């Protein structure tokens, strides 16, 4: 397998260390050669474009160009927001020659050039593309039989399709495929594609918590034993803010929320501590 550039993003290196730990553990178990480039910078999470569009584009073009300069064909990230920002930058550069020339003139000062040769994938897309469901199923050592898992996508891995382009925005199935591969049962509710409100938390915390609470309630009504999400920001709202969110919608239950590599890691037989499960706020009983 070719080496891939690993772009963990800020959340996985800070507030969601368990995501970083579980991604590394799963990659080691599956023999995925992840290489983290120390020169990568924060993607800006969409905030930079609010200040200056070209700043957002250049910062992320630099990240793409760094990976290209080192010979990587793929950047893998575990953050949905990083995925969207990097994919959006690539989309604009690949479809606007004037913009690409302007950005490359700026990157030239650092000895970089964006050529458009690198792709960006979310970690769970990479797993499905490289291994497929059958091979992942073959690698499973502890099938998660009888476990009902609610696949919560959130926004940034499914919308907008013209930029992300991996699976239909209206009915994605990548998480369901992974859940079945580890021997568990997906229980998909009507809110699995709805926003959790993370990016609206600061201007409207109550509204954000209501959205998160409704998503949690939907998972519970579906009979889920746990939720899995590919987004560390959704994870923060669903896990760390679970009590507050449920209070906003008049509920008081608890339900574990796992990152994708944590769910897969359990099925691969990796020790819970290596998956950072002790860091989850809502306890995960393995």
Q: What is the pLDDT along the chain (286 residues), one digit of tens a residue?
A: 899 999 999 999 999 999 999 999 999 999 999 999 999 999 988 778 777 788 999 999 999 999 999 999 999 999 999 999 999 999 999 999 999 999 999 999 999 999 999 999 999 999 999 999 999 999 999 999 999 999 999 999 999 999 999 999 999 999 999 999 999 999 989 999 999 999 889 899 999 999 999 999 999 999 999 999 999 999 999 999 999 999 999 999 999 999 999 999 999 999 999 999 999 999 998 7
Entry pTM: 0.95
Residue 228, both tokens = 């899995």
Q: What is the pLDDT of residue 15?
A: 92
Q: What is the pLDDT of residue 261?
A: 98
Q: What is the pLDDT of residue 174?
A: 97
DSSP type of residue 223: T
Q: What is the pLDDT of residue 238?
A: 98
Residue 6, both tokens = 């690993």
By CB atoms closer than 10 A (0-12, 13-18, 19+), residue 259 is buried
Q: What is the pLDDT of residue 141?
A: 98
How many residues in total does the chain contain? 286
Domains identified in the chain and CATH numbers? 4-122 (1.20.1050.140), 139-269 (3.40.50.11810)
């Amino acid at each position: 397998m070719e080496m891939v550039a690993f772009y963990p993003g800020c959340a996985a290196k800070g507030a969601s260390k368990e995501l970083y730990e579980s991604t590394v553990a799963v990659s080691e178990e599956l023999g995925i050669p992840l290489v983290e480039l120390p020169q990568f910078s924060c993607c800006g999470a969409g905030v930079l474009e609010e200040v200056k569009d070209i700043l957002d584009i250049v910062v992320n073009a630099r990240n793409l160009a760094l990976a290209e300069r080192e010979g990587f064909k793929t950047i893998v990230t575990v953050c949905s927001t990083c995925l969207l920002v990097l994919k959006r930058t690539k989309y604009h550069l690949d479809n606007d020659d004037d913009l690409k020339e302007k950005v490359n003139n700026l990157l030239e000062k650092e000895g970089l050039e964006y050529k458009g040769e690198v792709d960006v994938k979310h970690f769970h897309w990479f797993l499905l593309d490289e291994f497929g469901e059958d091979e992942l199923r073959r690698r499973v050592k502890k099938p998660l039989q009888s476990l009902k898992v609610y696949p919560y996508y959130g926004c940034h891995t499914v919308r907008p399709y013209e930029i992300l382009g991996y699976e239909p925005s209206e009915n994605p199935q990548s998480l369901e495929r992974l859940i079945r591969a580890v021997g568990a049962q997906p229980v998909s509710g009507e809110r699995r594609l709805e926003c959790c409100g993370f990016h609206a938390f600061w201007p409207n915390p109550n509204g954000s918590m209501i959205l998160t609470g409704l998503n949690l309630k939907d998972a519970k009504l579906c009979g889920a034993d746990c939720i899995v999400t590919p987004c560390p920001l959704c994870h923060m709202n669903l896990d760390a803010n679970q009590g507050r969110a449920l209070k906003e919608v008049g509920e008081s239950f608890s339900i574990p929320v796992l990152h994708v590599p944590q769910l897969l890691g359990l099925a691969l037989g990796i020790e819970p501590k290596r998956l950072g499960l002790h860091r989850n706020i809502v306890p995960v009983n393995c």
